[in-house]
Amino acid sequence: MTATKTLIYDGSFNGFLTAVFAGFEQKLPFADIQKERSAQNGLFSETETIFTNIDIAKRVWNGIKGRRNSAIKNIYFSFLSGEKNLEPLLYQYIRKIMGSKHVASDFSDACILKISQTAQKVHREKHRMEAFVRFQLTKDGIYFANIEPDFDVLPLISKHFKERYADQPWIIYDLKRNYGLYYDLNGVEIITMDLSHTLENSIKKNTSLVTEEYDYQDLWNNYFKSTNIKSRINKKLHTQHIPKRYWKYLSEKKEAV
């Protein structure tokens, strides 16, 4: 039996990369990398706690990047999926890449395929969020949006929104993970807020928004309805494109929620 070793890290991406480094240093063929909070010890495995080290994380990052640039994206994206027990698989993936840079395109290898498919899933969610964020203009002149994405995609969409809305302050707040991005015309920072009332769709008007906000929502609603061609109705396709879990924050689906 090959002894597996359990490496426990703090849950951050840098922590994970540090753990990968430790695994490589000890030449572990398998490393059971686990998050602090959800760690479970194997009956016969040794356990080591990893302390996040940014310099080491950077070294690992650059090492993989030097091997194969596109692999970095796959690793980061699938890490953000937060899927359970993905870390050991990622460790294997990194070991394979470091062994030969060509294997990254071996889609007949179960590990490579799984990682690239997971990354693809996260990428899809990122793309959805770029589409489904709905800003509402508050009285302090900030465009505010709530989201509850399946995966932790805020770090991935930040650049897109910064470039697109460079001349308006905005906040995109992830209620599921309880943090958000705030752009103040200079740069984007990470914020956490105590949101007593979220800006979900409701018929009741929210007093913290400018009054014309609801006029534009109505106009948008109207447009949404009249652009639909009744003789071609296809609700199944509609919900396939906009799954119901996203409706909560889409003003055009206000009545449907």
Partner 1 sequence: MGNASNGICHSYSEDGRCISLLKILLTNHCIYDCAYCVTRRSNDIKRAAFKIQEVVDLTINFYRRNYIEGLFLSSGIFKDPDYTMERLIAVAKKLREEENFNGYIHLKSIPGASDELMYEAGLYADRLSVNIEIPTISGLKLLAPDKKHEDFAKPMRKVKNEIIRFKEERRLLKSTPKYAPAGQSTQMIVGATGESDKDVMYSATHFYKNFHMKRVYYSGYVPISNDTRLPSLGTQVPMLRENRLYQTDWLLRFYGFSVQELLNEQYPNLDMQVDPKLSWALRNLHHFPVDINRAEKALLARIPGVGMTSVHKIMKARKFRKLDWDHLKKIGVALNRAKYFILCDSRYWERRDMDAERIKGLIISTSYGKFRNQYSNQLSLFN
| 130 counts as binding partner 1 under rule CB under 8 A | yes
Q: Which of residues 61-100 bind partner 1 (CB under 8 A)?
A: none
Among residues 135, 179, 182, 214, which is the contact residue for partner 1, using CB under 8 A? 135
Mention every residue, 6+ apart, whose C-beta is less than 8 A from residue 122. Answer: 77, 78, 80, 81, 151, 153, 156
Among residues 127, 142, 148, 179, which is the contact residue for partner 1, using CB under 8 A? 127
Among residues 107, 124, 184, 192, which is the contact residue for partner 1, using CB under 8 A? 107
Q: What is the DSSP letter of 11?
A: S
Q: How far is the CB of 23 from partner 1 (least distance, A)?
A: 24
| 105 counts as binding partner 1 under rule CB under 8 A | yes
Rounded to whole angstroms, the Cα distance separating 208 from 191 reads 19
Q: How far is the CB of 229 from partner 1 (least distance, A)?
A: 5
Among residues 67, 73, 160, 248, which is the contact residue for partner 1, using CB under 8 A? 160
Q: Which amino acid is at 199?
A: L
Q: Which residue has the tokens 């572990």?
A: 28
> With contact defined as beta carbons under 8 Å apart, do 90 and 78 qualify?
yes
Q: What angle do CA 177, 54, 124 make, to 5 degrees?
A: 40
> With contact defined as beta carbons under 8 Å apart, do 19 and 31 qualify?
yes
| 185 counts as binding partner 1 under rule CB under 8 A | no
Q: How far is the CB of 62 from partner 1 (least distance, A)?
A: 25
Structure-block tokens of residue 53? 């080290």
Report the Cα 137 to chain-centroid distance in Å: 25
Of 7-15, 17-25, 36-44, 157-165, the segment contacting partner 1 by CB under 8 A is: 157-165
Among residues 30, 132, 182, 214, which is the contact residue for partner 1, using CB under 8 A? 132
Q: What is the DSSP letter of 171?
A: E
Nearer to partner 1, 130 or 174 (CB): 130
> With contact defined as beta carbons under 8 Å apart, do 58 and 72 qualify?
no
Nearer to partner 1, 5 or 121 (CB): 121
Site string for partner 1, 220-239 (x = CB under 8 A): x--xx--xxxxxxxxxxxx-
* Number of residues engaging partner 1 in binding (CB under 8 A): 49
Among residues 40, 108, 186, 207, which is the contact residue for partner 1, using CB under 8 A? 108
Q: Which amino acid is at 20?
A: V
Report the Cα 153 to chain-centroid distance in Å: 2
Q: Which of 114, 148, 147, 142 is nearest to 208 (CA)?
A: 142
Rounded to whole angstroms, the Cα distance separating 193 from 30 reads 40
Site string for partner 1, 164-183 (x = CB under 8 A): xxxxx---------------
Interacting residue ranges for partner 1, rule: CB under 8 A: 102-103, 105-110, 113, 127, 130-137, 143, 145, 160, 163-168, 216, 219-220, 223-224, 227-238, 240-242, 250, 252
